[in-house]
Amino acid sequence: MAKALSIYLARWPVRLAQRKQRRQARTKDNSSKSPSDESVLIVASQRGKQIIAACCEQAVQAGVRAGITLAHARAILNDRRILEAPHSPEDDERSLQRLARWALHFAPTIAADPPDGLLLDITGCERLFGGTISQVRAIDAALQRVGLPSRIAAAPTFGSAWAMARYGPRRVSFVDDDDLRERLAPLPVAALRIDDAARIALSEIEVQTIGELLAIPRRELAARYGAALLLRIDQAYGDIEERIEPIRTPPVFVVGHTFEGPVRRSDFVFAAIERLLDDLLAMLAAHDHGLCELSILFDRVDAGPLSESFCFSRPTRDRKHLWALIHLRLDRLRLGCGVEEITLRGEKTERMQSRQIAMWQGAAAEAPDDASLGRLLDRLTEKLGNEAVLTASPFESYLPEKAFGSSGGTATKKPVASVLLADRPSRLFPKPEAIDVMAAVPDGPPAWMKWRGDDVRIIASAGPERIALPWWTGEEAMHAARDYYIVCDARGRTLWIYRACEEGAPTGEWFIHGVWV
């Protein structure tokens, strides 16, 4: 009997839009229902035009086809109610991944088959459902209950199951090893999952079905259409093994404790949280993960549930650090008339890098890493608030004032490395200050300047360094550029000044932008 299963979710984006519409209708009014005569159009933008990417069966029967403009589709459906939804392939693929995780109830090995299908390896699962037929019918019934009608095929290979699910004569198909060639022969050549170029080339010689294709010698197929066509044929008939990349369910890090009755004493609550924290850290260590966000849920008797969230700047499993932050917050916690249940959940986790241990006693102390900085940021953020703690982050920009920005202390996103490694002042002014400059020769390096009312004699200079402003941002100084100089004055200061340019020519305006301190 078959070992592979293919599920084809026809008009997958349309099904998602219809389910979303039904949910919205139920939340507005229990008595309201989603209109059955509503036509669904999935709209995509292509070269400034709104194109129909997919549509429902009713729209197809009325004459709407994928590829026509939205205005044309509206004209065809002028007397019908229309539901227009934006085309989002990324959201559709995420929904398909969620559906694949849901389908783990029926098989242990499942792969999403974008854009509108699932592949299941049901080897050895038949006995749990009373046979392959019962298993397929259970999957079909479950999809029908959640409002996802589909076409399903069970076959000896993934290629043959894919072909029967999409091009077979029945909505639910079963194929044995003995009748595999007979069942695949009348299907079109597109059922072999070949590309459009090969399909068009075969149609030019009037080869329409798989049976007609197999009548051609393999040597001629390889010479005319390449090895990819032979690979798809061999995969469909099982001459070459095909494996799927199964989805990986992310680990869930949740621990909880239920008291026999309401507990009001804070020391009992703290003791329970400490034990739960140890259990949670053990789970994280088993998966080499660290906490980026932790939530603690208290189920209170009188005041309802209370949730406390902790964010960390770096992934951590440091128990001492975590408990210090938790204890600081729990001292201000109001337990009401008592707590019945406590739940700790790792909302966001990341894999932690392994660290080399010392080979012998007395080895040199290991170099400090950013974990200590992360602990400091977490403590400051917990005491002062996330808005009070900012960290400087480099950004990919040549403009000095835009090469760095500030972010929250607990931000875990790694910043983009700066694109420039040139020498920059340690103190950059928020806004360049205008100065008067004199040079020994026209357009040469400055020899004297006046800054903040003081005369400054320049004894050395280096430059210029041309920095052009980004014209693609549409700023006012679209064609402006700057010629930067590093100058040293008679007082021993090192300053960063520049001369403004427009269309490649100096304007005569000078500014000071920073100083080395």
Structural domain includes residue 403: no
> Residue 355 and residue 316: Cα distance in Å, rounded?
13
Strand 39-46's sheet: what is its strand order?
A: 49-55, 39-46, 82-86
Domain span at residue 450 reads 427-516
Structural domain includes residue 408: no
Strand 151-155's sheet: what is its strand order?
A: 109-113, 117-121, 4-8, 151-155, 172-174
Q: What's the DSSP call for residue 417?
A: P
Domain identity same for 114 and 75: no
> Residue 498 and residue 486: Cα distance in Å, rounded?
9
Give the least confident one: 49-58, 259-268, 350-359: 350-359
Structural domain includes residue 362: no
Domain identity same for 336 and 445: no
How much is the pLDDT for 440? 77
Domain identity same for 215 and 97: yes
Domain identity same for 226 and 124: yes
Domain identity same for 291 and 232: no
Give the least confident one: 64-73, 186-195, 427-436, 460-469: 460-469
Top-confidence residue, 180 or 397: 180
Residues counted in the chain: 517
Top-confidence residue, 4 or 126: 4
Domain identity same for 266 and 347: yes
What is the tens place of the pLDDT at every residue in 474-507? 554 444 788 889 999 888 899 999 888 876 677 7
Q: Which of 178, 122, 179, 123 is nearest to 7 (CA)?
A: 122
The whole-number average pLDDT for the span 418-424 is 60
Domain identity same for 345 and 265: yes
Pairing assessment for the beta strands 39-46 and 4-8 based on DSSP bridges = unpaired
Domain identity same for 472 and 457: yes
| Structural domains of the chain, count | 4
Structural domain includes residue 212: yes
Domain identity same for 111 and 160: yes
Query: What single-letter amino acid sits at 133?
Result: I
Phi/psi at 221 (5° precision): -65, -45
Q: Which residues contact 185 (CB under 8 A, 6 or more apart)?
A: 209, 210, 211, 214
How much is the pLDDT for 359? 57
Contact (CB, 8 A) for 164 and 8: no
Pairing assessment for the beta strands 289-300 and 151-155 based on DSSP bridges = unpaired
How much is the pLDDT for 262? 86
> Residue 224 and residue 232: Cα distance in Å, rounded?
15
How much is the pLDDT for 367? 45
Which of 317, 351, 385 is the last residue before a domain boundary? Answer: 351
> Residue 394 and residue 420: Cα distance in Å, rounded?
10
Domain identity same for 269 and 208: no
Q: Band the pLDDT of 282: cuts 50, 70, 90.
A: very high
Dihedral angle computed from the Cα positions of residues 180, 181, 186 and 191, in that order, rounded to the nearest 10 degrees: 70
> Residue 36 and residue 38: Cα distance in Å, rounded?
6
Query: What residues pair up with 49 in beta bridges, in sequence order?
Result: 46
Phi/psi at 270 (5° precision): -65, -40
How much is the pLDDT for 32? 45
Q: Band the pLDDT of 41: cuts 50, 70, 90.
A: very high
How much is the pLDDT for 355? 63
Domain identity same for 102 and 220: yes
What does the block give as tokens for 245? 């990349």
Output the average pLDDT for the chain.
83
CA of 503: how far to CAs of 234, 481, 497, in Å?
64, 8, 20
How much is the pLDDT for 421? 54
How much is the pLDDT for 100? 92
> Residue 322 and residue 316: Cα distance in Å, rounded?
8
What does the block give as tokens for 456? 């400054």
Which residue carries 């693929």 as its tokens? 93
Structural domain includes residue 406: no
CATH for 48: 3.40.1170.60
Which of 289, 316, 351 is the last residue before a domain boundary? Answer: 351
Give the least confident one: 14-28, 172-186, 215-229, 483-497: 14-28
What does the block give as tokens for 99? 């559906």
Which of 89, 106, 128 is the last residue before a domain boundary? Answer: 89
Contact (CB, 8 A) for 425 and 404: no
How much is the pLDDT for 229? 93
Structural domain includes residue 244: no
The whole-number average pLDDT for the span 150-173 is 94
What is the tens place of the pLDDT at every residue in 195-252? 989 999 999 999 999 999 999 998 899 888 888 999 999 999 999 999 898 988 778 8
Contact (CB, 8 A) for 180 and 237: yes
Cα 29 off chain centre by: 34
pLDDT at residue 166 is higher than 90? yes
CATH for 336: 3.30.1490.100
Structural domain includes residue 45: yes
> Residue 275 and residue 257: Cα distance in Å, rounded?
9
CATH for 217: 3.30.70.270
How much is the pLDDT for 33? 45
Structural domain includes residue 445: yes
Q: Band the pLDDT of 184: cuts 50, 70, 90.
A: very high
What is the tens place of the pLDDT at every residue in 375-416? 777 777 777 776 777 776 666 666 777 777 666 655 544 544
> Residue 372 and residue 313: Cα distance in Å, rounded?
11
What does the block give as tokens for 49? 């035009």
Domain identity same for 222 and 318: no
